[in-house]
Structure 1
């Protein structure tokens, strides 16, 4: 008869997520994982397969949550699509360094650290980012249908501009760039797609 688990998997994943978020994958040792999760080495390998496999679970869960939150922020009727897009861009600029206790987006941090040499991470990150672009493009098309964005605006290019601006704002906020610059960038992007 196998041993009964004496840990809560959700708590383990949360603790591991926080440690990986703070230190990155390379900066988090197996001992760090064991310390913050309370797992024994045998449980780590038997249940999760090791540090890399645990990180995959953490990253996959984070990508799903951030993708859902992004889509949820943009979901709604055509009549309010322009308002939702404006709010998303402006809130991104407004949050600045206060985002999630000052931590960078785990998706961005992991992509920067690992995507160049880990094809699985690169594929997961790319899929999540593209889902976000699709949600933004859909909202922009809704705003066009409602008459809030002109028919001459290319919804694909507009969504790309808005998305890249958002991700740039998030990255620059972590470098300490002032909120006035971030706000100006958001407003310029909104103006470019006639959403100002």
Structure 2
């Protein structure tokens, strides 16, 4: 039937995300996507357009899940445990898999965004969204401890640290070493009780 997809769209897009996560945007071809999804290249073009359109579709869904899970990780009763939980979530996300797959958004920012303005915008939207999630999570906590800097600056610093952790993971730092880095960041951001 015309107009009816002859493949499981959710499964195909999930596998496309795996291909992009494994290979990166720039190194992924439409042939790679066809092989990875089990959907013929012509059907992918017909259904979604080219590689960039497929990437944007799966990246935006990935970004929304990531932001939702990050907000959940921050939902803790005190500032220190909220930030440690958030960093633990982020570290788990980048070290998952064998071998670990790293951070799709950081990889994309370094790999592809300057050549593809729409992808650059999507990555920036994720990072801005993550800053807002962290800011809102921190300002919702009323544990009386406070931060050593104002909440927006703290949120931006936390997001920047997540990007640094992603690079350190690619350089061979293990999850425990990454958690140590995160713990140091948390101790510098959370005011100590008097």
- The answer to whether the aligner puts 1:85 opposite 2:87 as a matched pair is no
Give the aligned partner of residue 46 of structure 2.
Answer: 46
Deviates more, 1:5-14 or 1:166-175: 166-175
Length-normalised TM-score, structure 2: 0.84
Deviates more, 1:54-63 or 1:171-180: 171-180
Over 3 Å counting, the alpha-carbon distance change for 1:183 and 1:71 in structure 2 is closer
**1:180 Cα deviation from its structure 2 partner:** 5.7
Show structure 2 runs of 5+ residues with no match. none
Which of the two has higher C-alpha Rg?
1
Judge conservation of contact 1:86–1:195 (CA < 8 Å) in 2: no
Judge conservation of contact 1:19–1:33 (CA < 8 Å) in 2: yes
Question: What is the Cα-based RMSD across aligned positions, in Å?
Answer: 2.5
Length-normalised TM-score, structure 1: 0.83
Give the aligned partner of residue 9 of structure 1.
Answer: 9
DSSP-derived class of the 1:116 partner: helix
Q: Tell me the matched-pair count.
A: 191
- The answer to whether the aligner puts 1:72 opposite 2:72 as a matched pair is yes
Give the aligned partner of residue 127 of structure 1.
Answer: 125
- 1: distance between equivalents of 2:186 and 2:27? 38
Q: How does 1:113-152 map to 2 (within 5 A)?
A: 113-143=111-141, 145-149=142-146
Over 3 Å counting, the alpha-carbon distance change for 1:123 and 1:147 in structure 2 is same
Give the aligned partner of residue 99 of structure 1.
Answer: 96
Over 3 Å counting, the alpha-carbon distance change for 1:16 and 1:70 in structure 2 is same
Give the aligned partner of residue 174 of structure 1.
Answer: 170
Over 3 Å counting, the alpha-carbon distance change for 1:100 and 1:107 in structure 2 is farther
Show structure 1 runs of 5+ residues with no match. none
Over 3 Å counting, the alpha-carbon distance change for 1:43 and 1:168 in structure 2 is same
Judge conservation of contact 1:133–1:160 (CA < 8 Å) in 2: yes
- 2: distance between equivalents of 1:164 and 1:30? 32
Over 3 Å counting, the alpha-carbon distance change for 1:156 and 1:14 in structure 2 is same
Q: How does 1:27-66 map to 2 (within 5 A)?
A: 27-66=27-66
